[in-house]
Chains A and B, each alone.
Chain A
Amino acid sequence: MGKRYRNASYPHQNECDIVRRSRYLFWGFLPAGILIVLFFITPAIWGVYSSMTNMALVGKAARHLQFIGFQNYLKLITDSAFFTAIMNSVKYVVGGAIIGQFLLGLGLALLLEYTEKKGIKGGNVVYGFVMLAWLTPALVSGFEWGAMYDYYYGTLNNILKLLGLSKINWLGKTPMLAVIIANIWQGTAFSMMVFDSALKTIPVELYEAAKMDGASHWQSIRYITLPLIKNIAIIDLINITMVTFGVFLMIMAITNGGPGMKTTTLSLYAYRAAFENYRIGYGCSIAMVLLAINLIFGFTYLKVLKKIS
């Protein structure tokens, strides 16, 4: 046994403790680390590699795999459908995630908190209903919304008919709005849940002190609630942005990316390139651009957080 040295900062901790703790940490993190390497890092590396090949499931390229460098990326620059898909993705994320899910989730969480404080019943029921939407699989939700929007037999148009109003071609006239609403409906629960948890961590004493100082309800939200949940808000934004960028099943079920290219997002375009046109390499290059856009959004959020902190 070697000589033990006392740590000045942590009098009960010595080198052996540190080594032991490190070992525990290593073995503790190992299973998760293996899973991350297997299911996240390896596919990502494979994706980067594939995006630089002519990998395909049909044609001569299926037989002769070639490394083609940045050719797929250069093709993307001349592919106007790709730029339409980028714009659609940005619209979908800004409308569905940033404006819709985020603000509505925050609003619902504040409302639930308010009703709880005031002793108004029914908050849990609302919470449950919002959660139900989140728990419904994306494809099922997509078909449900497709049935709602259907021009001939859809629920919305049947309601309009009962009210004596004429039918609206929801998916023909306002397809992006239609898929954004469906996305907000499904995704809001997550933000609501995150903000609800964050609000519960704020000590009640702060609000009581503010009230004693004469702060209004809005001022309490503005000067106590929002500053204290901003870190959580950024984490929520990063998460919902990345998830919404990746959504394609729901859009596929509601509009199939149409009419025209009006609701074809980057993820749907990547799917089509890889699994409908069987150009895996090209599909991977679109996915890599999607990853880059996600990173840009993520870094921007973190920068904003740093600035406002």
Chain B
Amino acid sequence: MFVRSKWVVVCLIALVMILSIGIVINGAKKITIRVWYPDELGIKPKYVDQAAAAFRKDFPNVNLEIRRFKMPPRDFKTKLLLALGSGEGPDVIHFSGGSNIAEFADAGYIVPLDKYVNSWPDWSQYPDAVKGGVTYEGHVYAIPYGLDMRWLYYNKNIFRAVGLPVPWQPKSWNDIINAAIVIKERAPDKIPFALYAGVAGSGGTLAHAFLPLFYGAGGKLYDSKTGKWIVDSPAYRKTLEFYREVFLKYKLSPQEVMTLPKPWTTMRRKIGTGELGILYEGGWVYGGYIHNLGLEKARETVGYAMMPSEHGKFFFTIGGSGTVWYVCSQSKHPELAWEYIKRFNSKEIVAHINIEDPHPVARMDSASLPEFQAQKYLVDCTNALKYAKFPPLQPELTKVTYRIQLLTSRVASGELTIDDAMKKYISEMKSDLGADKVEIVK
């Protein structure tokens, strides 16, 4: 009896010791902050690491875990959302802003950063327009560092060879079509113009093709007064007529933009290699030309112009808050997550990353650095932003983008007439958003 009791006591003591050791080990375990970011080009890791080094210096007891996803943004978004949906998301998210801010905020994936930015002196360096681009329902949800804008790129060698003016600034849509016709006639082995359409064009179909035309025709996609999406207006018809002329009437843009898995990769490259005449694309694409051709050769080869409105009454670009940083609501230590974001968005890192991956800077003091001012291209980008028009930052934009992708491709492929394509679009938008959420402007 005594022997048995002794063994019971020994076992109990052993159990208590094991549990205590476990508690001590668990208690001593470092706090971990996980940072997820997508990067295909390999420009960002250097800067992410610089911010990480600064963070680790200030928080030596915090384990900072950085994970780079070498994949296109669309794939990253799916991966990220599945992780967030299953409660396995990181602490800090790096992803494009725009409508994602509204979608993520509505889903409860990200937290408002008001209390952090209010006590951050550097926030005063961000212009109100930039702050507005990351504000949703009165709260700041994201911190931008490099902004988006777009150019109408053209290959100067092709232009010179066919007798078109260099530098070139089209005054109207007709100027663009006429230039493409000249290329088609005088350089038949070149692709005159690439206009994104369809689902294949991904976000580019909206921001790099449809919107520059639609806004240029005086269109409005979302009525903020009524809170409704405009699903039919003269601007829609004019935009689709432009598509019809480019794809079907004059056959200036290849159908491949609607079938290639990543048409933007192909078309961006072709502008640089002199196989494509004209392309509307992101301002950051120029960084690829500098990287591949060198600064001087890039200047000689690739030109850029502002997008004209239909009849040249104004010139503009499509703007955006670019890639931004979010603090994930699943983070157990949002204040530490914020500390990482703060260190990435320093004056120096913001200036240097945007020199290497050309974007207008989000904070004004970065733009004042001499090395930034020395880059003519970046100064031009920053100036162009004064004339920027933005996509509506509404949570339904993903659904609307998809329907616009279908709309453009139905016309561009000749599958439907403009009228029939519009009928389908209106019916699909009513189905997706609700009949009370859409309106028609005559």
Contacts and interface: CB of A to CB of B under 8 A. Distances in A.
A300 B82 CA distance: 38
Nearest to A280: B85
A230 interface: no
A261 B406 contact: yes
Interface size on B, as a range, is 35 or more
Contact of A256 (B104, B109, B259, B275): B259
Given A58-B103, A62-B108, A172-B256, A256 B200 contact: yes
Given A57-B82, A58-B106, A260-B410, A78 B431 contact: yes
A80 B106 contact: no
A259 B103 contact: no
Contact of A63 (B107, B261, B398, B406): B107
Nearest to A274: B78
A100 interface: no
For B398, B412, B416, which residue has the most chain A Cβ atoms within 10 angstroms? B398
Given A58-B103, A151-B254, A260-B413, A276 B74 contact: yes
Given A254-B259, A260-B415, A261-B409, A277 B398 contact: yes
Contacts of A60: 106-107, 395
Nearest to B408: A260
Looking at chain A's contact residues, the main secondary structure is: loop
Contacts of B168: none
A272 B103 contact: no
A47 B381 CA distance: 48
B139 interface: no
Nearest to B395: A59
A259 B74 contact: no
B427 interface: yes
Contacts of A171: 255-256, 259
A262 B103 CA distance: 30
A52 interface: no
B246 interface: no
B323 to A, nearest CB: 18
A255 interface: yes
A107 interface: no
B199 A272 contact: yes
Contacts of A151: 254-256
Given A58-B398, A171-B259, A81 B85 contact: no
Contacts of A95: none
Contacts of B283: none
Contacts of A146: 260-261
Contacts of A96: none
B424 interface: yes
A277 B399 contact: yes
Contact of B258 (A58, A59, A260, A276): A260
B308 to A, nearest CB: 27
B261 A258 contact: no
B430 interface: yes
Contacts of A260: 198, 258, 406, 409-410, 412-416
B440 interface: no
B85 A262 contact: no
Interface string B259-297: 111000000000000010000000000000000000000
Contact of A62 (B106, B199, B254, B427): B106
The 7 A-B residue pairs with the shortest CB-CB distance, nearest first, are A172-B255, A62-B107, A260-B413, A259-B413, A259-B258, A258-B258, A58-B103
